[in-house]
Structure 1
Amino acid sequence: MTAPVAVSAAPPRPARTRSPWLTLVAMCLGFFLMLLDSTIVAVAVPSIAADFEVTDAATVWVNSGYLFAYAVPLLCSGRWGDRFGPRRVYIVGLGVFVAASLACGLAPTLEVLVTARIAQGAGAALMTPQSLAMIRRVFPAASLPTALGVWSAVGGVAAASGPLLGGVLIAWAGWPAIFLVNVPLGVVALAMVVWWAPRLPAAGGTVPVVTAAASALGVFALVFAVHEAPQTAGWLTIVVAAAGIVLTALAFVFQPRDPRRALVPGLLVRSRGFVAAVSSATSASFIVGAALIPVMLHLQNERGLDVGTATLVVLPLGVVSAVTAPLAGLCVRRWGARPVAVTGSAAMVVSVCACAVAADTGAPISVLVLALGLFGFANSFVWSPLATAAMTSVPVEFAGAASGTYNATRQVGAVLGSAVTAMLLAVSGPVVALGVLGLSGFVAVAGAAVLPKGVAAARARPSA
């Protein structure tokens, strides 16, 4: 692979009359809401099933519909942001998300709820690449790592706090509250974007329709095969997953060569920094998207804790992640993405393996609390450098494509991690599931280790 594509010291930006930190606040609120919805529904399944008088299995698609609709369009939505401007696409996505949240909360039947959740996921897919691309384009190089560290930590806190907030809201007002709370917060987020997010010029180009459709179908086939693996014959799972991989690969091979028209411009896959960051982030998502499931099962089923007490045990994860996020960004500015990412991914391996050992040996709860606190530290020290490396390894005019690719692979990694964890829990239990997740983190360590030396740090230093 070639070296990362250099980003000019002063890329052209429109004149700004507002602080980019206000733009970051607007982006983070919407980002928090959509990632919160990817985990908050898990605790509502029994209540939804009882209310609609259906089985727990029938309600699975309330969560899965969102995840599918979120994962599949991400590649395309990143390019739409380049084509039409990230602010415009973000506002459309947030509007869809808020309207769908209202429909979820008022859904009279399970079928309506699942349909509204799919619309929610589609809105989230439009928003995610634009938030990262917007941050990349409005922040000066010196403060970009800190901003991306905050953005990344917000995502980690949102995913980790979903079960906690979901439990509180359901106990207080029933399952519709987990969706209806998005409406006033979403309106506030929309107002923030309108007031604080600048109108950035579109990069132009077109989105290849055939390539986009083929890649979306390929991603869907892969995610669907993994998701349905526990209920499907092994040979059929392999066939569908292989078809998805082949279709996605063909879409990339036969996409237009003009980088302004390509779904994933070739300069992305030729950039060592971008490929390494994406590989490491996908592996980290494989862990983060699933690790709390076996932990919570162990605490409740084997330690005998109730839901509220078990939630308090995992609370340090979110607290430590939020507190250390700015520190991670400052470290990226000072030393570059590689040492910070290696530190974070190694801490992730240690923390998850420590949880496995503690669960296997019956160690005191305090050991799990410390391990989960280390996991929160890892959460900040992984996402900040990887997001920074991915977004600064390509020219700013391709920020949407880079963000879409980065987030799409992260989401696929999370879905794969959840599916593999579900299978391991069914045959072996929480200890083995945690052990496999922990060992898989060495892929994240390897990806972080091959990041180009000094990436992001050199760009983060103000020019003389």
Structure 2
Amino acid sequence: MGSARRTNPWASLSALCVGFFLIMMDTTIVNVALPRMMAELDAGLHQITWVNSAYLLTFAAPLLVAGRLGDRWGRKPVFLGGMAVFTAASLWCGWCDSVEMLIAARALQGVGAAVMMPQPMAFITTLFPARRRGAALGVWGSVAGAATTVGPLLGGFLADGPGWPWIFLVNVPIGLLGLAMTGFLVPGVRPRGGRRFDLAGTLLSALGLLALVFGVHNGEYYGWGRVLGPVGIAHIIGVGVLLLGVFVVWQRYNDREPLMPLTLFGNRDFGAATVTAAAIGFSLTGLYLPLTLLLQEVLELAPRQAGALMLPIAVANSVAGPVAGALSDRIGGRRVVMTGLLVFAAGIGAIAVSAGPETDPWLVAAALAVCGIGTGAAFAPMANVAVGGLSPELVGAASGVYNAVRQVAGVLGSAAVSVSLQAWPADGASQHGMASAVGATLLLLVVVLFVGSAACLAMEPRPRPAESFDAPRKAAAV
């Protein structure tokens, strides 16, 4: 810890945010370039969709394990290793000349992202004292919101300009900068020795999440029917749920080194924050497809115009995040998170009820600014609530669980939105029919956000110090 005290924590946070920005941006930057990739790589629709699926699958599946890797081997070397893998895979992606090679490179990119993802959140709990942690997590949260929104805009400009490979090649200099900044600015805290590794839990959780995410993300493509021989999407999802159920039982009886200590959920703040994280992950990821259809198919805007119109959500998120994080340090996270979720729901609701061919694009931009304020206000305090009352020994596991839940919820949101748009009984070929489908789908996201805001009622009204939650000795030894 001594090195952490001698280090400027804000400088360390800036280094961590570089890598975090990259991995979050790459969840959305590829979508706008898929048609170009399909044409230039002579790929079919199914093949090209795997460029995204491979990244999402290998990003989500190892997250629980990644949270523990930082505890076992040290958060700095694990973060650096993940960033090195991600940067090298980005270079590989940019040089690919076949869709098969690109899918493999994207899968490797996802592994690097998963290794990096839980470390900044755990780092912040050691770099910042409790009274300043909310502001730091506010900056971290605003980076996540801005990155996912900037992705489609930057991807559109790069695909239309120098070409789709630059969507990946642009990561390389940024990744190298992030590696240098992390090496110089982030302290290396010695990992706790004598630690075991939950191999059975690792296999059960990784395979369970892999099957669940695969089934949900690809269900639409296979018509929710057979995938290979007698094996169908329902079987794959069922196996995933079964494996995750066995994983939870194993965590209950593994008293040596549980990957996910169930005592985490004895802290009501962590449980409630995890539910709200799922709600906002579901809604934020699910927002972009109907929004894109509204802007390009209904309002007939060009891709660059549609991308530019999404800027307000990124700007508003970046401004609101740090402010909300600092405010949560003073008044507690419950009210700030709940307000943020309701504001986000109000922004989506405004777009939903006004969706139509005559909708003023500036009205959509204003509503997206409201959405950005809501996501910024909710995201950072939500993370602070999740880990703020936990003992340091549980922070790595908690960060892995929290991020895994949010990521899987995002995949579920993307799938649910796609199904909703197709199931809506309207003439999708007409602008009015498409607008009706978009409006109904966005209202689904509003409902999910209301559920998330209701979960905030279980949070403590005021922030609690970590010492107030003493996990049992067996869990603390993890």
Pairwise TM-score range, normalised by the shorter structure: over 0.9
2:334 alignment counterpart: 338
1:392 alignment counterpart: 388
Q: Contact 2:294–2:438 at 8 Å: present in 1 too? A: yes
* Aligned mate of 1:313, from 309, 320, 337: 309
CA distance in 2, matches of 1:220, 1:310: 33
Q: Contact 2:4–2:189 at 8 Å: present in 1 too? A: no
2:403 alignment counterpart: 407
Give ranges in structure 2 of 5+ residues lacking alignment: 226-231, 425-436, 468-478
Tell me, yes or no, if structure 1 residue 425 matches structure 2 residue 414: no
1:361 shift after superposition: 8.0
1:442 alignment counterpart: 450
- The 5-angstrom pairing of residues 251-290 of structure 1 reads 251-255=247-251, 261-290=257-286
Bigger mean CA deviation after superposition, 236-245 or 434-443:
236-245
2:165 alignment counterpart: 176
Q: TM-score, normalization: structure 1?
A: 0.93
1:225 alignment counterpart: 215
CA distance in 2, matches of 1:178, 1:311: 15
> SS state of the match for residue 355, structure 2?
helix
Tell me, yes or no, if structure 1 residue 216 matches structure 2 residue 206: yes
Relative contact order higher in (CA < 8 Å, ≥ 6 apart): 1
1:17 shift after superposition: 2.0
CA distance in 1, matches of 2:256, 2:70: 12
CA distance in 2, matches of 1:311, 1:233: 30
> SS state of the match for residue 40, structure 1?
coil
1:234 shift after superposition: 4.3
2:375 alignment counterpart: 379
| AA aligned opposite 1:333 | D
Q: Contact 1:136–1:144 at 8 Å: present in 2 too? A: yes
> SS state of the match for residue 230, structure 1?
coil
1:364 shift after superposition: 2.3
* Aligned mate of 1:203, from 187, 192, 196: 192
* Aligned mate of 1:148, from 109, 134, 137: 137
1:330 shift after superposition: 1.5
1:57 shift after superposition: 3.0
- Post-superposition CA distance 1:223-245 (Å, at most 9, x none): 11111221335474333323212
> SS state of the match for residue 338, structure 1?
helix
Change (3 A) 1:259 1:154: farther
* Aligned mate of 1:91, from 80, 91, 99: 80
Q: Contact 2:389–2:466 at 8 Å: present in 1 too? A: no
- Post-superposition CA distance 1:356-412 (Å, at most 9, x none): 111158442222112111100011111111100111131112211111000000000
CA RMSD, Structure 1 to Structure 2 (Å): 1.8
Tell me, yes or no, if structure 1 residue 452 matches structure 2 residue 476: no
- Post-superposition CA distance 1:247-268 (Å, at most 9, x none): 1121121137566611001221
Bigger mean CA deviation after superposition, 258-267 or 197-206:
258-267
> SS state of the match for residue 291, structure 1?
helix
2:20 alignment counterpart: 31
Tell me, yes or no, if structure 1 residue 55 matches structure 2 residue 44: yes
Q: Contact 2:156–2:307 at 8 Å: present in 1 too? A: no
1:75 alignment counterpart: 64
Give ranges in structure 1 of 5+ residues lacking alignment: 1-11
Q: Contact 2:321–2:379 at 8 Å: present in 1 too? A: no
Q: TM-score, normalization: structure 2?
A: 0.90
Q: Contact 1:13–1:138 at 8 Å: present in 2 too? A: no
Percent identity of the aligned residues? 38
2:348 alignment counterpart: 352
Change (3 A) 1:313 1:228: same
| AA aligned opposite 1:244 | G
| AA aligned opposite 1:31 | F
Q: Contact 2:4–2:126 at 8 Å: present in 1 too? A: no
1:201 shift after superposition: 2.1
| AA aligned opposite 2:34 | V
- Post-superposition CA distance 1:332-375 (Å, at most 9, x none): 01110000000001111111111111115844222211211110
* Aligned mate of 2:149, from 157, 160, 184: 160
